[in-house]
A and B are shown apart, each in its own frame.
Chain A
């Protein structure tokens, strides 16, 4: 048999088989960044958990989870999900917004329902629906907590993430709350700690050298807070009343639960948002109902009172 003939026979069998499947089954593709730091590890974990849960709940549903290390790989994957796996719906947490807008728009044009999570595309018409965490909300809730806990007066240092839109939204909202509601709280400085522990340690050490009196630290992210805590411990400083991180890392939530002296609260930006998105989509597809065009998952203040609800010991994050 010639190569071309063999290929086309195989191809047509594959097409027939998948066409038959498609009539009886709903196939949802889930495309997410690969686990490269704590939060994305949480995303991968929850996506796989939810896949199992949903496939059990809806017998006619199949969920395919794909992880990608960069935008380019992710664009290739969603193309494959469409041509090979014949997905009817796509849940995507884009690595980056701009480069993935066109590929997602193409899929939507071909009739795939596209649900975008967390990072909005640059052209909103490419997304059929949108589920996201609340970045300005994270900054706002954090600002409220810092201002209120300090009694409206004190010195605060800020450790930012990586220079991105998300980071700007959080920090702007934080500063806005402090400026308008707590004018006597002074932000001494803000530096990038790149959402990781080593940089958190380094930047905090330098803050401790530079400022003799710091009342509170807003670390913006729990990974940064881990480094901050070690730097404070090493310097033996007792002026700092509390360190506020964010995202809801299990170790930090545990500290809140156990009544840690420095970690008195945390603000969520939960990787469980991928679970919420997948659940909403599966329900809409399987019961043939419409899903909300836009769903924002609020950032919640975790304190000792409610910490148990946000503690997931099995998650890697």
Chain B
């Protein structure tokens, strides 16, 4: 399959905009509060960034292929809710471990199913991706709200205790969500840059007609990107559920915008054609760091938090633009 991975960071020295932005932000953060650079704080930030980051890896595929998926936040919420209901229901008959595995599997299946649904409606139904996923954004969230009666769906305590190491646990001193994030990003990078499928995704995004003439199965390539997106949302949800052990209508609110922002900050063009997974990773870490920095200091009025985030995003995108041309 893929040739041996080269460090993608070094091979792309030309486009370090987001990384420079992140370093600048970290310098400012450390100057404002030395606690920023502590291991525990950095691991908090990276762990939080792993949800959006994993989803954003999937979003990179969709966006590079020229599509968009607005439903990821609602999809995560619906998965989390269904997963918890399934686990709670299965626990008496399947036992703790069995029902956790079943729950995890069902989240991934929902992801694949949603991806197939999106991809099919977009390609065979020939509906704009924006419209399809805007529709499912509403559908997924309202089904969850219905399932939870507007309240919250909580995991049984015994299940929660057994499952919580998936979020809170560490392997070789590194929190598991960070490891999963790294693995997903690495795999995503390999697929996008080192496989034939990855090249097809880029070709379809850069010019669909040309790709078609080059005998690329455009429909299948597109559907697969949505399935990858769905799987990534599934993986993120597997890590999310053990954190609070509950899902509510406010779960995953606006995650789609954060994921898209991470992808764009990372240097992927919104119109498709080219993209970088490592940029997306940096984008996600950058986004979550801004929030963390604002919480660690109280120089700026809390009313202006969102404004600061907006300014940093635009500055980084500007740096990015300078590097690209």
Contacts and interface: CB of A to CB of B under 8 A. Distances in A.
B151 A42 contact: yes
Interface residues of A, number: 39
A156 B246 CA distance: 27
Contacts of A226: 244, 246
Interface stretch (A55-63, A74-82, A187-195, A240-248): A187-195
A316 B148 contact: yes
A198 B168 CA distance: 15
A113 interface: no
B305 interface: yes
Interface string A196-238: 1110011101110110000000000001001100100011000
Contacts of B303: 163
B145 interface: yes
Nearest to B292: A206
Contacts, number: 92
A198 B244 contact: yes
Size category of the binding interface on chain B:
20 to 34
Nearest to B33: A210
A116 B47 CA distance: 44
B257 to A, nearest CB: 15
B307 to A, nearest CB: 13
A93 to B, nearest CB: 14
A38 B244 contact: no
A198 B35 CA distance: 22
B199 interface: no
A197 B33 contact: no
B97 interface: no
B150 A38 contact: yes
B250 A202 contact: no
B294 to A, nearest CB: 8
Nearest to A233: B168
B41 interface: yes
Nearest to A226: B244
Q: Most chain-A CB neighbours within 10 Å: which of B40, B251, B295, B298? A: B295
Given A37-B250, A198-B244, A209-B41, A189 B150 contact: no
B194 interface: no
Interface in A26-43: 34-38, 40-42
Contacts of B243: 201, 230
24 contacts: A34-B145, A35-B150, A37-B248, A37-B249, A38-B152, A160-B302, A163-B302, A191-B295, A194-B250, A195-B250, A198-B251, A201-B243, A205-B48, A206-B295, A209-B40, A209-B41, A209-B44, A209-B296, A210-B33, A210-B295, A226-B246, A234-B168, A315-B151, A316-B149
